[in-house]
Amino acid sequence: MQKFWNDQVSWGLAGIYLLGAIAVLAVVIVFVTYAIYFERKVIGWMQYRRGPNRTGPLGLLQTVADVAKLLIKEDTIPAKADKALFILAPALAFVPSFLVLAIIPYGLNLQFADLNVGFLYYVALSGITTIAIVIGGWSSNNKYALLGGMRSAAQMISYEVPLVLSVVGIAMMTESLNLRDIVIHQEGYFWHWNFIPQIIGFAVFVVAAISELNRTPFDLPEAESELVAGYHVEYSGFRFAFFMLTEYIYVYAIACLATILFLGGWNPPIPQLDFIPGLLWFALKFAFIVFFLFWIRATLPRLRVDQLMGMAWKVLLPLAIANIFLTALGIEWWG
Amino acid sequence: MIRTEELLLNVGPQHPSTHGVFRIIVKLDGEIIKEATPVMGYLHRGTEKLAEDLNFTQIIPYTDRMDYVSAMTNNYVLVHAVEKMMGLEVPERAEFLRLIVMELQRVASHMVWWGTYLLDIGALSPFLYAFNDRERILQLFNELCGARLTYNYMRVGGVKWDAPEGWIAKVKEFVRSMHDKLAEYDDLASGNEILLSRIKGVGAYDAQTAIDYGLSGANLRSTGVKWDLRKNEPYSLYSRFEFDVPVGRNGDCYDRYLVRMEEMRQSLRILEQALEQFPEGGETMGKVPRVIRPPGGEIYVRIESPRGEIGCYIVSKGKAEPFRLKFRRPSFVNLQILPKLLVGESMTNLVTILGGIDIVLGEVDC
Amino acid sequence: MSEEEKRAGEQEPAIEASQTPPEQARAEAPAAEPAASEEKPASAPAEGEAPVRRKETDEEKAARRKAALEAREAAKAAAALAAAKPSAAAAPSTGTEAAETAEAAPPPPPSPNQPRLDRAVQLLRELVAEDAVEEAAINELNDDLPTLVVKNERWLEAAKLFRSHQELNTNYLRNVSGVDQETHMEVVYHLLSMDSGHVYAVKVRTDRERPSVPSVTPVWQTANWNEREIYDLLGIDFPGHPDLRRIMMPDDWVGHPLRKDYVPLDSEV
């Protein structure tokens, strides 16, 4: 894709872009379908259950059936909802989630847009989804949805700060925010990967990322035991499916990002293993992160709102800032 | 001009964390509760009224449906009251069976509580682990009396079914494995940092308040009051067994959690002793008149159910039907303290505190 | 074999019960279940004298009743005797069996709780009012529970005394029950002192037409919802209660279901 970057835009190129986007969409949708399946299976096994096993062989078509059901469901809009915003919110949530995928480098030459400010681009766009969630919660005209939306706004804004700051150390080491450069910088043995020199940053990043994803133990916006379902309580059918899709695309994006920023992207753990394609290494690391997220979900209880906020501002933020200083000192002393 | 407004939020009667059809109207300022008004009665079936037209044997299934998580203790409180009124002797084997099922029921009930409480707090897996163990108890009950939830097992003067062959051995096996399970669950959850931060110091009250509000069971013991009817006013065969009454100190949700966890261990201890001493043969039904007709008079008996003091007040006029039957339902009485505890707490703590009280709506509404 | 013999035999093993073959007694025990008794053919035609409540077991009941009507009182007395510690007070009626039992048993000692009851009565008379206690008795059926009937007008003061007096010190209100006694309404409080383990039952009577009992919610918080429930189901007013609303029935419900004169909406239920 990169080689078309500086060419004149023509119909042919537009077609290629479109095909590329459709390909990514297809990959993402297949991922989401089987991430949900995987999640249900893994959590099922962790809980002495079997997970889905009825629809299709081994239950592999369960998510497909679920999505089909969602798509043919009656589209209900609450009578007192703000119709325009209610309809807008799922789309507004989904679009940025898909846009952030453009900057993910899966391999040395497998990337759609090689931005100099790759990471900032991600953070900027994912913030828009927060707005969409608040809009969805507000426009539903439901108190639970409103509380969920407000929690979501507070939480995502709070956690974006440590999320960004945790990556600053890497930017300092790499001297770039370009995701591709960051991966290239980590070439070599696995102890050259960023998660070892940036262990504090990595910890902060993981916690903040789980929170950004609204997943357990930070799934307060949709805490079903308090707020029933949170901001999407009034949504059904394909609008609800859009919210779900968004959520899983962010899982995909964050897992990719963690792989790239801290786990060396497509680099093998030892250079001798480089006969295995980089894409496979990428996929392995990515799968580990995704599994980790599901694992956490099956293990931990949920935090309380005030504790969540306290953690963002009182624990993660100082840690992230300390990490920046330590990184600076490290660069100063050891180059 | 910015102005704030209080939000009136209707929690329930259909809400995942009210454990049934309970409703609380909360006045929220942001997420802080200013006022909470419980509304109940959605499950009111008029058990006490229905009982006035039924004879005592017919009432037993109704008691199953009050606290449906702990039907055995409910069975017991009724038959115990009638037996006491009529001065009936219960054969030892029957009494042992009753005690064993009651203690198994306590473990099952606490297991349900543990699982659902952690689910309220957001942990998914313990719920399924807990139900897995409870399932084994229900299987044992199923083998014993053919029912999993509403057993209708006890009768005035004894129990309906004798233990089938090999049942006692199965219970022994269960008790053995449950010890390990409890240790595992402690490892999994009890020390979890997030759990501690969620429930430690939340919903605390002191012993005086607890007594004022008539709390019983773990709700009372968590404040440090050593009051367990199995010890303080022994009934059945409890005086024969050795067990401790766990108490807390701070009266918060965490102490209630610990007390209930320890109670399960003590129940297992009682079970071990009871299974050891279980009589070989013997009747399971005492000599009972054909028509159960307690003499005129009144009686109040109380036993320790998993939720606290369950009592049965019978006014009899010498007929086969009670003139008035009133149950003191621990869930109902324990729930009274809820509005007091909720003021000033956040929405999230509502779930924590309500779950910590451990109510069963079938019993609250009766 | 008549019923009273069997009853007495079963309930008081000390008495000769040889007339009852054990097999028969066993066979009859499950018949206490209604389903079993329905299937059994009636041994005698129905007689109208028995108060009829449920048709299915009525025929048998009537037959038995006829045979045993006269002596049943005695049997009950015997049962009561067996239930509590043998006590002469529980055998008010005559009848050969009861008389025998009473003779066989040693002369009943006074209840161990009698001094406590007397003391409570004395305290109430001295510190509340001379007429505060209407009746006082020991309920042998219920482990010698000291039972007092307190005058309605004096109840709130008496409750405060029960709560605060260091000898009584009943800090725990176990249970509050409302009873429609058909001639009057009654509210029964079961009190417990957690320090000494002493228990008392206090009854407060009230008129049936306009029932009203002072609320003790200020004294024991436990009474709050219990009183609301009694108000809801029996219609007893509790002046002084902070929030007397219906609690179980819908707010717009007419009538109080637990009253004996309540007419159900659906007679089938």
Give the pLDDT of residue B106: 92
Is B343:B33 a contact under the CB 8 Å cutoff? yes
Does the distance separating the beta carbons of C79 and B294 come in below 8 Å?
A: yes
Three-state secondary structure readout of chain B:
CCCCCCEEEEECCCECCCCECCEEEEEEECCEEEEEEEECCCCCCCHHHHHCCCCHHHHHHHHHCCCCCCHHHHHHHHHHHHHHHHCCCCCHHHHHHHHHHHHHHHHHHHHHHHHHHHHHHCCCHHHHHHHHHHHHHHHHHHHHHCCCCCCCCEECCEECCCCCCCHHHHHHHHHHHHHHHHHHHHHHHHCCHHHHHHHCCCCCCCHHHHHHCCCCCHHHHCCCCCCCHHHHCCCCCHHHCCCCCCCCCCCCHHHHHHHHHHHHHHHHHHHHHHHHHCCCCCCCECCCCCCCCCCCEEEEEEEEECCEEEEEEEEECCCCCCCEEEEECHHHHHHCCHHHHHCCCEHHHHHHHHHHHCCCHHHHHC
The 10 Å Cβ neighbour count of residue A13 is 12
Q: Which residues have C-beta within 8 Å of that of residue B16, sequence separation ≥ 6?
A: A224, A225, A228
Neighbours of chain B (3+ CB pairs under 8 A): A, C
Of the candidates A49, A224, A307, the beta carbon closest to that of B197 is on A307
Residue pLDDT, tens place only, A120-130? 888 888 888 88
Strands B158-159 and B297-305: unpaired
- Beta-bridge partners for B304: B309
In this predicted structure, the answer to whether residue C30 has a pLDDT above a threshold of 50 is no
What pTM did the predictor assign? 0.80
Chain A residues with CB under 8 Å of B349 CB are: 304
Mutate to test the interface with B, among C19, C54, C175, C251 (most CBs of B within 10 A): C175
Whether residues B300 and C61 touch (CB distance < 8 A) is answered with no
pLDDT band of A4, cuts 50, 70, 90: low
pLDDT digits (tens, 9 = 90+) for C215-263: 999 888 889 999 999 999 998 999 989 888 888 888 888 888 888 888 8
The strand pairing partners of C201, in sequence order, are C147, C190
The answer to whether the beta carbons of residues C136 and C151 sit under 8 Å apart is: no
Closest CA to B319 of B61, B84, B63, B51: B51
Structure tokens at B143: 């083998």
- Percent of chain A past pLDDT 90, that is, above it, reads 4
For residues A113-119, average pLDDT: 80
Confidence of residue B270 (pLDDT cuts 50, 70, 90): very high
For residue B329, give the chain C residue with the closest CA.
C175
B205: alpha, beta or left? (left if phi > 0; alpha if psi -120 to 50): beta
CB count within 10 Å of CB B294 equals 29
Q: How far apart are CA A314 and CA A195, in angstroms?
A: 23
Mean pLDDT of A170-197: 84
How far is B348 from chain C, CA to nearest CA, in Å? Answer: 25
A277 preceded by cis ω (within 30°)?
no
Backbone phi and psi for residue B33, each to the nearest 5 degrees, phi listed first = -80, 125
Q: How far, rounded to the nearest angstrom, does the alpha carbon of residue B164 sit from its chain's CA centroid?
A: 26
| C-beta separation of B168 from B278 below 8 A | yes
Does pLDDT of C101 surpass 70?
A: no
Q: Do A304 and B349 touch (CB under 8 A)?
A: yes
**Cβ pair C2, C67 in contact under 8 A:** yes
Least confident of A51-55, A90-94, C88-92, C158-162: C88-92
Q: How confident is the model at residue B108 (pLDDT cuts 50, 70, 90)?
A: very high
3-state SS class at A61: coil
Tell whether C247 lies on the interface with B, counting CB pairs under 8 A. yes
CB pairs under 8 A between B and C: 160
A82: three-class secondary structure by DSSP: coil
pLDDT in tens, B316-343: 988 888 999 999 999 999 999 999 999 9
- In the structure, what pLDDT confidence band is assigned to residue B6 with cuts at 50, 70 and 90? confident
Q: Look at residue A234 in the predicted model and tell me its pLDDT.
A: 85
With bands split at pLDDT 50, 70 and 90, how would you rate the model's confidence at A322?
A: very high
Q: Rounded mean pLDDT of A114-122?
A: 83
pLDDT score of C269: 55
Rounded Cα gap, residues A216 and B107, in angstroms: 29
Residue in chain C closest to B225 (alpha carbons) equals C194
d(CA C69, CA B197): 68
Of chain B residues 143-172, which have a CB less than 8 A from chain C?
155-158
Query: Given an 8 Å threshold on Cβ–Cβ distance, is B122 in contact with A305?
Result: no
Instruction: Write the pLDDT tens digit of every residue in A74-109.
Output: 888 888 888 889 889 998 988 998 888 888 888 777
- Cis peptide, bond prior to residue C211, ω within 30 of zero: no
**pLDDT at position C7:** 44
Judged against a pLDDT cut of 50, whether residue C19 lies above it is answered with no
Mark yes or no for CB contact B121/A301 under 8 Å: yes
Provide, rounded to the nearest whole percent, the portion of chain C with pLDDT above 70.
Answer: 58
State how far Cα C150 lies from the chain centre: 17
Quick check: A299 pLDDT over 70? yes
State pLDDT tens for residues A20-68: 888 888 888 888 888 888 888 888 888 888 888 888 888 888 888 888 8
Using the beta-carbon criterion (under 8 Å), do B128 and A47 form an inter-chain contact? Answer: yes
Q: Which chains touch C (3 or more CB pairs under 8 A)?
A: B
Q: Which residues contact C224 (CB under 8 A, 6 or more apart)?
A: B336, C217, C241, C242, C243
pLDDT of residue C106: 61
Our CA-based measurement puts residue A225 at a distance from the nearest CA of chain B, in whole angstroms, of 5
Confidence of residue B263 (pLDDT cuts 50, 70, 90): very high
Q: What is the mean pLDDT of residues C5-32?
A: 42
Q: Is the model's pLDDT at C155 over the cut of 70?
A: yes
- Are C32 and B335 a contacting pair at CB < 8 A? no
Q: What average pLDDT score do residues B232-244 get?
A: 88
Which C residues in the span 7-66 are in contact with B, Cβ-Cβ below 8 Å? 7, 9-13, 25-26, 28-34, 37, 53-54, 57, 61, 64
At B262 the pLDDT is 92
pLDDT above 70 (res C41) = no
Confidence category of residue C58, pLDDT binned at 50, 70, 90 = low
Q: Is the pLDDT of residue C29 over 50?
A: no
Task: Kindly report, residue by residue over B121-175, the tens digit of the pLDDT.
Answer: 888 888 889 998 999 999 999 999 888 888 989 988 888 888 888 899 999 999 9
Which pLDDT belongs to residue B137? Answer: 92
Confidence of residue A5 (pLDDT cuts 50, 70, 90): low
A43 vs B contacts (CB less than 8 Å): 124-125
Cβ–Cβ < 8 Å for B35, B7: no
- Average pLDDT taken over every residue of chain C: 70
DSSP single-letter state for residue C53: S
Identify whether the C-beta of residue A231 lies closer than 8 Å to the C-beta of residue A140.
yes
Q: What is the pLDDT of residue B114?
A: 92
- Best of A138, A304, A305, A307 to disrupt the B interface (most B CBs within 10 Å) is A304
Asked if the Cβ–Cβ distance from B298 to C139 is below 8 Å, we say yes
Predicted ipTM of the assembly: 0.88
Tell me the pLDDT band of C89, cut-offs 50, 70 and 90.
Answer: very low
Residue C75 above 60 pLDDT? Answer: no
Which residue ranges form the domains of chain C, and what is each CATH number?
114-234 (3.30.460.80)
Q: Which residues of B116-137 are buried (b: 16+ CB within 10 A; e: fewer)?
A: bbbbbbbbbbbbbbbbebbebb
Cα separation, B176 vs B192, whole angstroms: 25
Is residue C86's pLDDT more than 70?
Answer: no
Say if CB B66 and CB B74 are below 8 A apart: yes
> Over 80: is that where the pLDDT of A223 sits?
no
Average pLDDT, chain B: 88
Mean per-residue pLDDT for A318-331? Answer: 90
Which residue is associated with the tokens 């044997």? Answer: B57
Q: What is the pLDDT of residue C90?
A: 39
* Residue C108 pLDDT class (50, 70, 90 cuts): low
Q: Residue A326 is inside which H or E element, if any?
A: helix A317-334
- The residue with tokens 């006014």 is B315
Measured distance CA(B305)–CA(B312) in Å, rounded: 12
In whole angstroms, give the CA distance from residue B87 to residue C91. 14
Predicted pLDDT of residue C46: 42
pLDDT at C42 over 70: no
> Does the beta-carbon distance from B212 to C177 stay under 8 Å?
no
DSSP A8: P
pLDDT of residue A307: 83
